[in-house]
Amino acid sequence: MAKGNFKLYQFLLNSFPLILLFFFALTGYSLSLKFFAINISFNFIHLIVFYWVLRKPEMLGYGLIFFAGIVNDVVQNLPIGISSINYLLLCVIASFFRTRTLVPNLIYDWILFLIAILIVSSIHFSLLSIFF
Amino acid sequence: MSTESSRDDFIIAIRSAFLKKGNRQKFSLFTLIIISILVLSLEYFKTGPINQFRSITKDIIFRGSYIVSSPFKYVKDKYYLFQDHMSMYDEYSVLRDKNLDLDSLKKEVDFYKSENALLKKLIEERELFSKEYMLTKILLDKQSPYLKSVIINKGQKYGVKLGSAVKDRLYYIGKVVNVNFLSARVLLASDLNSKIPIIIEPSGINAILSGNGNDEYAELEYLPKNNEIKENEIVYTSGSDGTIPASIPVGKIIMQGNKHYVKFFSNLNQLNYVQVNK
């Protein structure tokens, strides 16, 4: 019985990033704050994808990230496929940093995340304004 | 020598990021990016089997999203119900103080309606819009500062058309911007991309109502410079775009400094059922 519980716990723990990813993709929730008439929005999916691909890539499959992008596009009314490109580019950047980093550091991770977001958001904006 | 080796490392890291399949990964990132670009290029096909497939996929995802968000929707509904209960006494007092003679007003409106119908017949004006509305349920309420839209549970199968006006009780709230087989997306009047031709009564001034991402009020564009619009004047749809029927009330004028805003009659955060023009 205890072994069964442990297995379930292990399964839930391993599926946690996946559950979180699809929860945010399906509901489209994002934290929005108004700061001096400027809207600031946090996209949790970017954070989840970047963190897990950087730290534990075996827990989040690239195929599922692609699928989460498609779901997010449908929910957010974006051209289908654009979020998948964003998330996969984020994966490329995270994967690149993973192979280049020798000693992991949380502050560096956040700085790299900001750089990655800057690149991905620029590509997202360029694609939308050029083609759609 | 060291520059060359660091360049090699850089290229190896990029190649590994794009092409290497990690543990438990079935596809390389390069393959998936190519697939994503192919999927994105399918957006150019707006008709035919690809569009039908897209429509069915969207319906399935909307239903899934509805199930996942239902506990949160329940909590939100309960919160607004609680708020309504708290403000019930104040609202009752306001309504009692107004002391409107609704019955006589209704008779007056009926008289004007019949007079209007007669006059229209006299000038042989044709009715461009259907007066029939169908009741639909809100499946998803997607509201962020950059997107104010709702998903309704009726689509092409039930006769929902692109551009149809959507009302909450008597008031205009938005129009249909995307129709799937069993669902449709309604762009709310508060969305940043929403622009509707309106008329302000009784001054009779035409303008464009432009959403600004705010749930309570929207902005007015293309107003004449020397207008004499007063606070609390009523804003109706003008119907001049040929898709939205005329004379649906939208909101009333409020002033902030020298700027005019339109306060919506309907609470766009608490929509459960809406009516779509057939």
| CA B59 – CA B56 distance, rounded (Å) | 5
Pairwise CB contact (< 8 Å): B40 & A80: yes
pLDDT in tens, B77-136: 888 889 889 888 888 888 877 766 677 778 788 888 888 888 877 877 666 667 788 899
The residue behind tokens 């209007």 is: B116
Q: Within a domain: residue A8?
A: no
Secondary structure (3-state) at B45: coil
Domain enclosing residue A79, as ranges: 13-131
Is residue B73 over pLDDT 90? Answer: no
CB-closest option in A58, A71, A84 to B61: A71
- pLDDT at position B116 is 82
Q: Within a domain: residue A127?
A: yes
pLDDT in tens, B32-52: 899 999 988 888 777 778 888
Strand partners, B251: B235, B264
- pLDDT at position A55 is 87
Is residue A87 over pLDDT 80? Answer: yes
- pLDDT at position A116 is 92
Pairwise CB contact (< 8 Å): B57 & A57: no
Pairwise CB contact (< 8 Å): A27 & B18: no
Interface test with A, best of B5, B9, B36 (most A CBs within 10 A): B36
Quote the minimal CA–CA distance from A103 to chain B in Å. Answer: 16
Amino acid occupying residue B91? E
- pLDDT at position B4 is 67
Task: Say if residues B187 and B174 touch (Cβ distance below 8 Å).
Answer: yes
Q: Within a domain: residue A2?
A: no
Summarize the confidence of residues B151-158 as an average pLDDT. Answer: 89
Quote the minimal CA–CA distance from A42 to chain B in Å. Answer: 11
| CA B184 – CA B165 distance, rounded (Å) | 12
Pairwise CB contact (< 8 Å): A96 & B13: yes
Instruction: List, as one string, the DSSP characters of B251-270.
Output: EEEEEETTEEEEEESS-TTS
Other CB atoms within 10 Å distance of the CB of residue B221: 10
Indicate the fold that domain B49-86+127-278 takes in CATH. Thrombin, subunit H (2.40.10)
Is residue B1 over pLDDT 80? Answer: no
| CA B86 – CA B84 distance, rounded (Å) | 5
Please determine, for the modelled complex, whether the ipTM score is greater than 0.90: no
What is the pLDDT confidence band of residue A46, given thresholds at 50, 70 and 90?
very high
How many structural domains is chain A composed of?
1
Q: Within a domain: residue A6?
A: no
Q: Within a domain: residue A1?
A: no
Does residue B72 belong to the interface with chain A, where contact is any CB pair within 8 Å? yes
Is residue A73 over pLDDT 60? Answer: yes
Strand partners, B186: B150, B176
Percent of chain B at pLDDT > 70 equals 91
Amino acid occupying residue B106? K
Delimit the domains of chain B by residue range: 49-86+127-278
Is residue B3 over pLDDT 70? Answer: no
Is residue B24 over pLDDT 70? Answer: no
The residue behind tokens 């403000």 is: B87
